[in-house]
Structure formats: structure tokens, C-alpha cells
Amino acid sequence: MIEDLQLETLINVVYEYYGFDFGSYSRASLKRRVDRIYQLDGFQRFSDFLSKIRSEPEYYKRLVEEITVNVTEMFRDPSFYKILKDEVLPNLAAKPFIRIWHAGCSTGEEVFSMAILLKEANLLQKAIIYATDINAKVLERAKKGVFGLQLIKQYAENYRNSGGKNDFSNYYIANYGVAKFNDEFSERMVFSQHNLVSDGSFNEFDLILCRNVLIYFDKDLQERAITLFDGSLSTLGYLALGSKETLKFASISDKYVQVNKEKVWRKLK
Amino acid sequence: MEETKVVGKFDVVILGGSAGSLQVLMKILPLLNVQLPFAFVIVLHRKSTEDKTLEQLIDLKSTVNVREVEDKVLLVPGNIYIAPSDYHLLFEKDNYISLDASEKVNYSRPSIDVSFESAAEIYKSKVLGILLSGANADGTKGMQIIKEMGGTIIAQDPETAETPFMPLNAIKFAKPDYILTVEEIIDFINSIQ
């Protein structure tokens, strides 16, 4: 494993050369991610690693892409999707227009899951999903709506466990080992790069999902990101976090009420 | 083990296990001292759907308080912390736990190696790592690192393990400080000052 001091040096170099601040990321996880790419790319000396980051912007991009975690699946945590379907969407249904923000959408599996729920609730046509991530590469993949066919069996099982009643295979076309999800879903999505560390609010939303992103931030940055979500959420809108993340310690928590003990909070004022 | 043996100070005791380790844990928990002078972290491999059941089971069996693990919870001595399924459990400075949903390690998330290594980085010699029954190589590398950093490692005596591969692998490659039966593990934990 790389040394603490080396990690701090890297954080400073990245900030100095590229203006990106990893200083508020959880150290234990960041250290593992940096060590992973250091080993993966076969470096022997940390100074070589640093000078490559300094001198090659393309390599810096790779560093960011490899540091950010992009492990995701469709209908991850089925009980969470059940709450979306049974509690959240019915309460948004009366709105003339539904705006949703997926912050940290990675390769898009959860965005397409959301779109399927919207379609089944007959809300897809009046909804728009803004899906953002810091990593441009995963956004390119997300846009395509193409996922490995070998994963679909698990996704279909998650879908059924979340209360899905339809034939999951209606939602995609299988070909050459991949599943391409229907265009009616991606037509309702807007993908763009957004950085929770430095970018601000860009719209007002009825539902914001940010799942398993805050775990990589320290408490100060978590607080900042939650404040950003709060400022981007309409009254009576919903904020959804990952299954081990909480709003409990956030300064804005008294404005929110938790929905059915799941990681969904409704903004009351 | 001698009755009078006094074991050194530990800030964190981590117990890792896989196949065949749950019943061992169920034997250990009811016999633990109520006032443990360290934080007790449990990292078990299991299916992702079994989260609540495992927590309830452990809570039921245990004399020690079980705290729910969420991201950035504070580690407090005298409590049990169970790594949630589908997350790696890591240790931060200032005694915080953080979670990480990145790739599986040794086909496992939570991975015992990941938690062992992270604990060793933060708590150095104040870590006790215990590896129980299992069919997987997870835990061995983490034990090596705990040892390198001055901590202490124990493997369950493979003769007493339902699935001996995991402790055997650790004995072969990590040279544990102790190889103990379940009863001896309980005595060891209870004699920690």
C-alpha cells in the first residue's frame, strides 16, 4: 500500500495542476483506489507516478476514472425500488411535469431502472431524468443503454423482487451478448458531467437520487453535497441515498421526514 | 492456555469468517465479557439478502451491544459492529468506520482482507485479527499485513473448523501468532485488558 504522505502529495499535485480537490474524500477508500491504479499500471516509484499525472492530462483523466467507483446494477436493493414505486411515484403523479436528478449515475443501470418504474406508472412521458457523474467515460456508456446480457438474469430477479410484474425482456432487445434498452427510456434522459465537489445547483427537482456516492466523501463534503441537494429540491420533493448512508447528521435534517425506514426522505419545508 | 495469561491491549478486534463460521460465532458471542475494552468488528461472507437476519441473530445471542453499521459511524469500545453485505468496511483516522462499494475482493464484499489491511493501517499493533472457518483464501493477505504492522493474528484450529481451507491457508502463508480452538479463542478475547 502507498504511504499516507504519498497520498497527501498526490492530492496536492492534482489540486495544483488540475484544480480538482480529492482532499475531502474518505482517506481509507481513496488510498485503496490510488494504490489500485498505481499497482495496475505497474509503477515502481511513486515519483514516476506523480510526474506522469503532472505532465499528461490524459493520464490524469484516467486517474479520476479509476478512482471513482463504478460498481452498480439495475434495481440494486429491490426494497428501495419498491418504496419508489409504492410511495414516491404515486405522490409525484399529480405533477404536470416530473424532474429527477441522478447524481453519480455511473454507467446508468439505476437510471434505466428508474425509467422502467416511470413507464409502469404511466409517468415516463412527463418525466425527465438528469443523470450526472464526474466521470465522462461512464456517461458515454450510460447514454447507450447497453448492458451485458450475462448480467440481465440478476437484474430481472432484482426487478421481480422489487415488485415488478411485467416480462423484463420487453424492455430491451438482446443481441450479440448485450441487452439494448428501448429508446423510449433514453429519450427521457439528459446526461451531463457534474462534480459534487465543486459544481452548484442547476435546476429544481422533485426527486434526487444519490446512492453510494457520499460514502466516498468525508463528513464535511457530505454536508456540502447534502446542502446542494437540499437547495435543488422542491418542497415535498424526495431525496434518496444509498442503503448505508444517512441524512441524520446533516444540518438540514429537521426539514425532512424519512419514508418507511428506507433511505428516502421527503422535504417538508 | 494458562488462566493467568494477560493479553496485550487492542483497540480493535476483527473476526473474519466464511462457510462454517456462523455457528462458531454463535458459540463465541454468548460467552464474551459484557464490558469489552475494544471495538469488536465482525466481517462475515454471506448473501446480500441476509443482512437483517444476521444482525438480529447476533444481537439475540450476544451479551454485548450491537451497533448498526452505517457510513462514518464512530467505533466505540464495548460494541459489536457487523460489516454490512455488499460493502467493504474500512477504518479511518479518528475512529470512524467508512464503507466502500467498490469491486469484490476474493469474490467477496465485504472482504476480510480489505478490513484487516485497513485496520492495520490505522491501528498498527493495536489490532487483533481472528480468522475462522471458510472455503476461500480471503483473510490471509490481510493477516500478513496485520502482522507486518505489529498486530496479532489468530487462526481457528483447522481441526475444529467445519471448512478448514481458510484457516489452513492463513497458517501456511501468514504464520499466525496463535492457532486456537473455539474455546481458546473465547478465553483469549476475554483476557484482553
Chain A residue numbers touching B101 (CB-CB < 8 A): 69, 71, 212, 215, 242
Stretch B179-188: mean pLDDT, rounded? Answer: 97
Residues of B with Cβ-Cβ distance to A39 under 8 angstroms = none
Chain B contact probe: residue of A30, A138, A215, A223 with most B CBs at under 10 A = A215
- pLDDT value at position B67? 86
Which candidate, A258, A247, A198, A239, places its Cα nearest to that of A223?
A: A247
End-to-end CA distance of chain A: 47
| pLDDT the model gives residue B57 | 85
Residue B48 pLDDT more than 70?
A: no
Of A28, A31, A212, nearest to B101 by CB-CB distance is A212
Instruction: Please give the interface size between A and B, counted as residue pairs whose CB atoms are below 8 Å apart.
Output: 60
Q: For B158, how many CA atoms within 13 A lie in the half-sphere containing its CB?
A: 11
CA–chain centroid gap for A154, Å, is 20
Q: Which residue type sits at A225?
A: A
Of the partner residues B99, B117, B145, the one whose CB lies closest to the CB of residue A215: B99
Query: pLDDT confidence of B135, banded at 50, 70, 90?
Result: very high
Predicted confidence band of residue B49 (pLDDT cuts 50, 70, 90): low
Pick among 3.40.50.970, 1.10.1370.40, 3.40.50.180, 3.30.70.520: CATH of B12-190: 3.40.50.180
The residues of B that are catalytic are 18, 45, 138
Extents of the domains making up chain B: 12-190
Instruction: Tell me whether residue B159 is exposed, middle or buried, using C-beta atoms within 10 angstroms of its C-beta: 0 to 12, 13 to 18, 19 or more.
Output: exposed
Report the pLDDT value the prediction gives residue B46, as an integer from 0 to 100: 82
Domains and CATH numbers, chain A: 4-67 (1.10.155), 78-267 (3.40.50.150)
* A26 interface with B at CB cutoff 8 Å: yes
Residue B102 and residue A244: Cβ atoms within 8 Å?
A: no
Tens digit of pLDDT for each residue in A208-261? 999 999 999 999 999 999 999 999 999 999 999 999 999 998 999 999 999 988
CA distances from A210 to A45, A111, A222, B178 (A): 36, 11, 11, 44
The rounded distance, in Å, linking the Cα atoms of A238 and A185 is 21
Interchain proximity A216–B100, CB inside 8 Å: yes
Structure confidence by residue, pLDDT tens digits, A54-70:
999 999 999 999 999 88
List the single residue in B84, B90, B117 with the smallest CB-CB distance to A29: B90
Distance CA A268, CA B191 (A): 52
Do A206 and A98 form a contact (C-beta atoms < 8 A)? yes
With CB atoms and an 8 Å threshold, state whether A26 touches B90. yes
Contact B70 A245 (CB under 8 A): yes
Contact A244 B69 (CB under 8 A): yes
